Structure 1
């Protein structure tokens, strides 16, 4: 007994997302949340795997994603942290949020 087969074994859609698929995913998550990513595609009516839905939501569709350039304050903070901590500043920023 193991996990269900992944996308390529089940004939699910791969590749770029259409605007219609984006809208389906957004409306489903707004109405029902995203507690189980593996079950979400079937419940939402998408021919995608749960991982694809999770990555699409997390990286592109989430409403709190900031797009565009850094503000002057954000850039100064990054430079200051890098001077003090080196490359470890990335981990500091992740922990802070």
Structure 2
């Protein structure tokens, strides 16, 4: 059950590291059109990538609200406190 794979049968899809040009295409498309169907996005944005690859690139690296860098003292204290209460859940 479920969906059929979106890109298993397409051998021309690019795999491997993303280029800055591909990142720019993805970011500019999302800024202009917003988030929608990840399966349709690569073709509409002019990318030769799988929709899943685009979704993961956006979610994990390109979103503007991703916080980078070290934890603050308050965040570190909160993590330790929650871990002592909840454990490794």
TM-score by length of 1: 0.83
Is 1:31 paired with 2:32?
yes
Provide the rounded CA distance (Å) in 2 between the counterparts of 1:5 and 1:86: 38
Provide the rounded CA distance (Å) in 2 between the counterparts of 1:6 and 1:43: 15
Instruction: Give the structure 1 partner of residue 59 of structure 2.
Output: 58
What do residues 24-69 of structure 1 show as CA deviations (whole Å, max 9, x unaligned)?
Answer: 0000000101210000000000000100000000000000001011
Instruction: Give the structure 1 partner of residue 85 of structure 2.
Output: 84
Greater share of residues in helix = 1
- After the TM superposition, which segments of 4 or more aligned residues of structure 1 sit over 2 Å from their partners? 2-5
Question: Structure 2: which 5+ runs fail to align?
Answer: none
Question: Structure 1: which 5+ runs fail to align?
Answer: 89-97
Q: Which has the higher contact order (CA 8 A, sep 6+)?
A: 2
Provide the rounded CA distance (Å) in 2 between the counterparts of 1:78 and 1:72: 10
State the Cα RMSD in Å.
Answer: 1.4
TM-score by length of 2: 0.90
